[in-house]
A and B are shown apart, each in its own frame.
Chain A
Amino acid sequence: MSEEKILEVLEEASREAEKIIADAYRKAKIIEKEAERKASEIIESGKKAVEKELKELEKKELRKIEREIRKIMNETEKTIKKLHEIALKKREAVINQVTETLKEMVIGDAGE
């Protein structure tokens, strides 16, 4: 084979190799672009999912607060019920005490 022919073969092989590398660069670009597209998609859908999760979480936490408030109100009602029971139980004794105090205020402890 002549030297010229050898160079021709080598150049051709080099061109082919360069083409393979250029193809790889194109493929790499496509891969990166695809990754960026996927990343945007992940961010977009991720944010949407987070927004949904936040809404659910907010609802759940607000329901917890509502439950706490209802508990306080139920306790209040129980306390009020208890107050009425005490009043009913002690009513007569209190009236007698008021009467007795009135007597003490006007005529003194021992009376006359």
Chain B
Amino acid sequence: MLVSEEVKVREAILAKGRSRANAIVKDAEKRAEAIIAKARKQVEDYRRMEIEKLMKKIEAERIRRISSARFESRIKVLEEKNKIIDSIFKDAVSHIVSNIRSLEWYPTFLRKIASASITTLGLKEVVVYASKEDLKLLMEMKDDVIEDVKRNLGFTPFITFKEANGLNIGVKVSSIDGSIAVDNSLETMLEKLRPKFIMLIAKTLFGE
């Protein structure tokens, strides 16, 4: 073999070696790229999963807190409505108590509650208590009251009218010995009718 041929062979062997070396490095570089790409994907997957988890948690929290706020809101509105209704009922009671005597139908009203109270008691002898002012009116309508009761009970009751201190409007009717009584003072009547009036006020104000 000539020297030049020896060099050629040597170069060929080395070139093959270099080529193999290049391939090894290139492979390594490809694997390195793949390792990095995998890491990036791992981070991206982690991010997507964690965001999904967080959003689910937040949505549950949102539903819980919004529901609670809506419930609180409904309660607040309801409480406010009740306050308004109560306040108007109180105003109405106060207005009625202050003005009822000036209304043209008041005498009839008084007569009716006196007759109804005596009828409810159902006794032949009763005492009707009223304020001085109402007593005067009742005395004027005594015959009408007796007639009403007679029509209801079928007998003529014996009625004693007495002034009652502390009774403003309306009547209280009791047996002679006071053991049984019917309280139809205006304040008591209005309090008894309170549930009906509350419903009426709610319907008129808020259509409920």
Query: Which A residues fall within an 8 A CB radius of B?
Result: 1, 6, 9-10, 12-14, 16-18, 20-21, 23-25, 27-29, 31-32, 34-36, 38-40, 42-43, 46-47, 50, 53-54, 57-58, 61-62, 64-65, 68-69, 72-73, 75-76, 79-80, 83-84, 86-87, 90-91, 93-95, 97-99, 101-103, 105-107, 111-112
CB distance from B92 to the nearest CB of A (A): 4
B70 to chain A, nearest CB (A): 6
Alpha-carbon gap, A54 to B57, bound state (A): 12
A25 to chain B, nearest CB (A): 6
Given A69-B66, A91-B88, A105-B17 contact (CB < 8 Å): no
Known contacts A34-B32, A35-B31, A42-B36; A98 and B108 CB within 8 A of each other = no
Across the interface, which residues of A come within 8 angstroms of B65, CB to CB?
A: 65, 69
**Contact at B43–A17, with CB atoms within 8 Å?**
no
Main secondary structure of the interface of A (DSSP, over half): helix
Cβ contacts under 8 Å, B139 to chain A: none
> Which of chain B's residues have a CB closer than 8 A to the CB of A53?
47, 51
Say yes or no: B1 contacts A91, CB within 8 Å: no
Instruction: Give the interface size bracket for B toward A.
Output: 35 or more
Contact residue among B38, B51, B55, B92 (Cβ-Cβ distance under 8 Å from A98):
B92
**Interface residues in chain B, defined as those with a beta carbon under 8 Å from any beta carbon in chain A:** 1-3, 6, 9-10, 13-14, 16-18, 20-22, 24-25, 27-29, 31-33, 35-36, 38-40, 42-43, 46-47, 50-51, 54-55, 58, 61-62, 65-66, 69-70, 73, 76-77, 80-81, 84, 87-89, 91-92, 95-96, 99-100, 103, 105, 108-109, 112-113, 116, 189-190, 193, 196-197, 200-201, 204-206
Number of A-B contacts (CB under 8 A): 200
